[in-house]
Chain A
């Protein structure tokens, strides 16, 4: 079983739509969680961190359910510029005290006019 699993999509949505992505993780030593965005042929960039209480940044809302080991990202009022691959990311605490960052395979989103 992969440590971080996501629906690869693609999700094809019209402008203005609301779209939600889900992610599950398997390692209970997972400590912190993020969503990254990767545009075609570009490097990944941090979109937002995910907190236990849930957090919002403009049109983007992230949720974490530690009991179910589940993370979500909600995008409201989709824009053409939201078209990208969204990567679910988990930091796992190592025995050494450091951590390892694991990326999901990503969910592709296409927003169409």
Chain B
């Protein structure tokens, strides 16, 4: 069983399109995240949700809109895709009550904008 699963794994699309990436975790964790890893391999947090409530929203263009229908799911919708959006997007989850809680990552969704 995959603990954190995200789909699709690969996404190739044209500039200006709208796309979504879905994420689900079966660990019973309270907190879910979206991270972006660019071509320089720098992993940067985008959003964090705790029990469906947004708790971290870094400086991300408002073309990016996360949605959490329940605490096991956190989807990422991207409008009007730009070349600079090309990256690997990782979903992750953790048990927020524990400050030392491990982050469990999905396998990543590689987005290529042409």
Give the B-binding residues of A (Cβ under 8 A): 31-32, 34, 36, 42-46, 49, 85, 87, 89, 91, 93-94, 96, 98-103, 105-106
The reply to whether B55 and A96 contact each other, CB–CB distance below 8 Å, is yes
Q: Is the interface of A mostly helix, strand, loop or mixed?
A: strand
The 4 closest A-B pairs by CB, nearest first: A43-B105, A103-B43, A46-B102, A32-B100
The reply to whether B48 and A32 contact each other, CB–CB distance below 8 Å, is no
CA distance A34 to B43 in the complex (A): 15
The reply to whether B105 and A87 contact each other, CB–CB distance below 8 Å, is no
| B66 on interface, CB distance cutoff 8 Å | no
Distance (whole angstroms) from the CB of B104 to the closest CB of chain A = 8
CA distance A4 to B19 in the complex (A): 31
How many B residues touch A, CB cutoff 8 Å?
A: 23
CA distance A36 to B103 in the complex (A): 10
The reply to whether A32 and B99 contact each other, CB–CB distance below 8 Å, is yes
| B15 on interface, CB distance cutoff 8 Å | no
Question: Among B45, B50, B55, B105, which residue has its beta carbon within 8 angstroms of that of A44?
Answer: B105
| B34 on interface, CB distance cutoff 8 Å | no
Once A43-B107, A100-B56 are accepted as A-B contacts, the answer to whether A87 and B43 lie under 8 Å apart by CB is yes
Residues of B66-114 whose CB lies within 8 A of A = 90, 94, 96, 99-100, 102-103, 105-108
The reply to whether B48 and A100 contact each other, CB–CB distance below 8 Å, is yes
CA distance A19 to B84 in the complex (A): 35
Question: Among A43, A98, A100, A105, which residue has its beta carbon within 8 angstroms of that of B45?
Answer: A100
The reply to whether B43 and A44 contact each other, CB–CB distance below 8 Å, is yes
CA distance A91 to B99 in the complex (A): 8
The reply to whether B100 and A98 contact each other, CB–CB distance below 8 Å, is no
The reply to whether B100 and A85 contact each other, CB–CB distance below 8 Å, is no
Residues of B39-63 whose CB lies within 8 A of A = 40-45, 48, 50, 55-56
CA distance A31 to B35 in the complex (A): 20
The reply to whether B45 and A101 contact each other, CB–CB distance below 8 Å, is yes
- Determine the chain B residues whose CB is within 8 A of the CB of A46 once the complex forms: 102-103
